[in-house]
Amino acid sequence: MNSQCQAVYFLFFFATVTSDCVTWFYENTFFKGGDVDAVYTPTAEHCQKVCTFHPRCILFSFLPANSINDENKRFGCYLKDSPTGTLSRMTRTNAISGHSLKQCIYQNCACNKETYEGLDMRGVNLNVTKVNTVEECKKQCTNHALCQFYTYATQTFHRPEFRNTCLLKHSQSGSPTAIKMLDGVVSGFSLKPCGLSDIGCTMNIFQDMSFSGKDLGRVIAPDHFVCRTICTYHPNCLFFTFYTNTWHIESQRNMCFLKTSDSGKPSSEIPQDNAMSGYSFLNCRDWQDLCHIRMHSGMDFEGEVLEVVYVQDAQACQEKCTSKIRCQFFTYTPHQGECKEDKCKCSLKISSDGSPNRIIYGTESTSGYTLRLCKKLSNFVCTEIQNKRVVGGSTSSPKEWPWQASLQVKLKTQSHVCGGSIIGKQWILTAAHCFDDLSSPDIWRIYTGILNQSEIQANTSFSRIEKIFIHPQYEISETRHDIALIKLETPIEFTAFQGPICLPSEDRGTTYTNCWVTGWGFTQEKGEIQNTLQKVRIPLVPTEECRKKYIQYKITDQMICAGYKEGGKDACKGDSGGPLSCNNKGSWQLVGITSWGDGCAKKDHPGVYTKVAAYLYWILHIMEN
């Protein structure tokens, strides 16, 4: 599918926040008012990450370099809040606005593995060394306790004495203090949030111990576990001390002190009754996302009340808080005078820093936090196999790709049109463009568990489509958002020949090296549908490199590219909608959906696939509702 990309213009006058996850961007749009903070970020995608993890941000606006003449405002990321959930918007050429991902089941983590050529992300320089590659510079930053981002001067930098120089940097906010366009440099972020640091971490809690260091701030917390989570998500916190509610200084009870030091360790450890200290988990390898899942009985969290609702129990109150995007914590009050019939008062609350202003003990209340940070992908059962549109491929074996589906149209004759992937008993994931001018569910027949097209006879069983879900932002004239979900009328019976592939795990910087494209498509650009399912192993291509190959097209962050520089192996006509399957630690994951390309297997023209990880919430939202 070769389509020229066209600009999208949104005609809404207001941006409204709902309880649903909204992942798309509004182009040529800037939200007016509601500013709670402003930072610099290299892209709109990273701005959205910052907004997602900010305690108050629900909307954002980003100014790329081509949107403003003032160099000091280029790459500005404006974080916004609104008590009504609504902000008016103005037209601004090349500005990009969007929503926080706080309400997304699949929530982008803080990990960012991208590198940014031609950008100098500025901050306080921590260290300057000579290294051979940008990857070495990135690794140095990841393994330096204080480094948050870096800039590397390449061999093409205009001043020879600075070539191959790696500058490790940090800032008070964790974001660059400015971003400037500069030829011959590459910038990026530490991979500590990806769980890739080799520094190591201490998971112990030190009871009756106070850590000395530079104070970064203080917040109220119900216990040391919450204090540690807050420290882990703070951009500069390396260790903490928490004073319990029995601490002798009343004004410091339940106070969580966030700390750092130049060495990364406390300057001293002081024995102190009713104090508990520990370290951030940020330097832990493969650390899991943390969240405040526990509820706290006998405590009333004080804060600004957003809304009062009446529910049956504390768990229902927590669910209400989680579903309301601005709610940060809650208090459920079940005692007499606060109940109506079998339901009692649930106060949804907010504060400037996401923590209670005060904690009152000795009440009948139960308090807790939103579970937004706890939201994970549903545990769909999927296929795990250890065995190892396709041009330059080879034939597959039975049971090798049990998630592969053949989508066929029955009009006057019947023919294979697209591939697809089984992701659930009644669900097939495929490309939206497969249904261009073929949108009626009645004409489609879905075959699973087959290897050869010749197996399909008049009496061969197939599945009918109950409903086709096309991504709401897909347009026939464009290549973006090329994804569709099919619900089958009846469930598939899983066997060794047909079963689901895993959806990709949360993007924590996973590097996929064992990826395969499968399909019955053409084996040459002017060919024919193949009888036997073809397979080819194919390397992923970095997004920035792919963009250079397709200057006339727009390669978005919702796309992924794969192919050989020399060409010769690729997906082709008839493979559309089929899987780009990658094996990660023994589990096959659906990383991409075959979408489009410039011809088939051409030199320096990789295939372009829809990036499944970018659409996980949309997929799961439909499947679960």
All structural domains of the chain: 25-99 (3.50.4.10), 115-194 (3.50.4.10), 205-279 (3.50.4.10), 295-369 (3.50.4.10), 404-488 (2.40.10.10)
What is the phi/psi pair of residue 533, to 5°?
-55, 125
Residues 6+ apart with CB under 8 A from 151: 120, 121, 122, 166, 167, 169, 185, 186, 187
Q: What is the pLDDT of residue 20?
A: 65
* Residue 473 DSSP class: T
pLDDT digits (tens, 9 = 90+) for 236-265: 999 999 999 999 999 999 999 999 999 999
Q: What is the pLDDT of residue 55?
A: 93
In 86-177, the DSSP E strands lie at 86-99, 115-122, 124-130, 149-153, 165-170
> CA-CA distance, 9 to 252, in Å (whole number)?
52
Say if residue 41's pLDDT is above 80.
yes
Q: What is the pLDDT of residue 552?
A: 79
From 74-78, 97-101, 356-360, 512-516, the region with the lowest mean pLDDT: 512-516
From 367-371, 377-381, 426-430, the region with the lowest mean pLDDT: 377-381
Amino acid at site 494: F
pLDDT digits (tens, 9 = 90+) for 286-334: 555 567 878 999 999 999 999 999 999 999 999 999 989 999 999 999 9
Angle CA(206)–CA(208)–CA(211) in degrees, nearest 5? 65
Residues 6+ apart with CB under 8 A from 553: 4, 5, 479
Averaged pLDDT, 578-585: 88
pLDDT band at 8 (very low <50, low <70, confident <90, very high): very low
Q: What's the pTM value of the predicted model, to 2 decimals?
A: 0.66
Averaged pLDDT, 147-166: 97
433: left (phi over 0), alpha (psi -120 to 50) or beta: alpha
pLDDT band at 230 (very low <50, low <70, confident <90, very high): very high
Averaged pLDDT, 445-450: 94
From 4-13, 342-351, 594-603, the region with the lowest mean pLDDT: 4-13
Distance, CA of 141 to chain centre? 22
3-state secondary structure of 27: strand
Among 171, 367, 421, 576, which one carries the catalytic annotation? 576
> CA-CA distance, 474 to 6, in Å (whole number)?
12
CA distances from 520 to 365, 394, 427, 481, 515 (A): 61, 11, 20, 23, 17
Say if residue 74's pLDDT is above 90.
yes
Q: What is the pLDDT of residue 343?
A: 94
pLDDT band at 573 (very low <50, low <70, confident <90, very high): low
Both tokens of 593, joined, read: 């959906």
CA distances from 498 to 213, 256, 332, 443 (A): 58, 53, 47, 23
* Residue 504 DSSP class: P
> CA-CA distance, 525 to 174, in Å (whole number)?
49
Q: What is the pLDDT of residue 312?
A: 93
> CA-CA distance, 264 to 199, in Å (whole number)?
10
Report the percentage of the chain scoring pLDDT > 90. Answer: 62
Among 300, 482, 570, 575, which one carries the catalytic annotation? 482
Say if residue 234's pLDDT is above 80.
yes
Averaged pLDDT, 495-511: 77
How many CB atoms within 10 Å of residue 288?
A: 11
567: left (phi over 0), alpha (psi -120 to 50) or beta: left
> CA-CA distance, 179 to 73, in Å (whole number)?
9
Averaged pLDDT, 362-369: 93
Averaged pLDDT, 214-226: 95
pLDDT band at 108 (very low <50, low <70, confident <90, very high): low
Among 292, 433, 481, 605, which one carries the catalytic annotation? 433
Compute the radius of gyration of the chain from its Cα atoms.
26
pLDDT band at 389 (very low <50, low <70, confident <90, very high): very low
Q: What is the pLDDT of residue 171?
A: 97
CA distances from 255 to 303, 310, 367 (A): 15, 30, 17
From 139-153, 463-477, 562-576, the region with the lowest mean pLDDT: 562-576
From 11-25, 281-295, 502-516, the region with the lowest mean pLDDT: 11-25
| Residue 277 a catalytic site member | no
> CA-CA distance, 432 to 481, in Å (whole number)?
8
From 33-42, 276-285, 506-515, 545-554, the region with the lowest mean pLDDT: 506-515
Q: What is the pLDDT of residue 596?
A: 85
Q: What is the pLDDT of residue 7?
A: 25
The secondary structure of 237-290, three-state, reads: CCEEEEECCCCCCHHHCCEEEEEECCCCCCCEEEEEEEEEEEECCCCCCCCCCC
Q: What is the pLDDT of residue 304?
A: 96
Q: Tell me the pLDDT of the chain averaged across its residues.
A: 87
Q: What is the pLDDT of residue 469?
A: 96
3-state secondary structure of 620: helix
| Residue 433 a catalytic site member | yes
pLDDT digits (tens, 9 = 90+) for 410-430: 988 888 999 999 999 999 999
| Residue 482 a catalytic site member | yes
| Longest Cα–Cα distance in the chain | 85
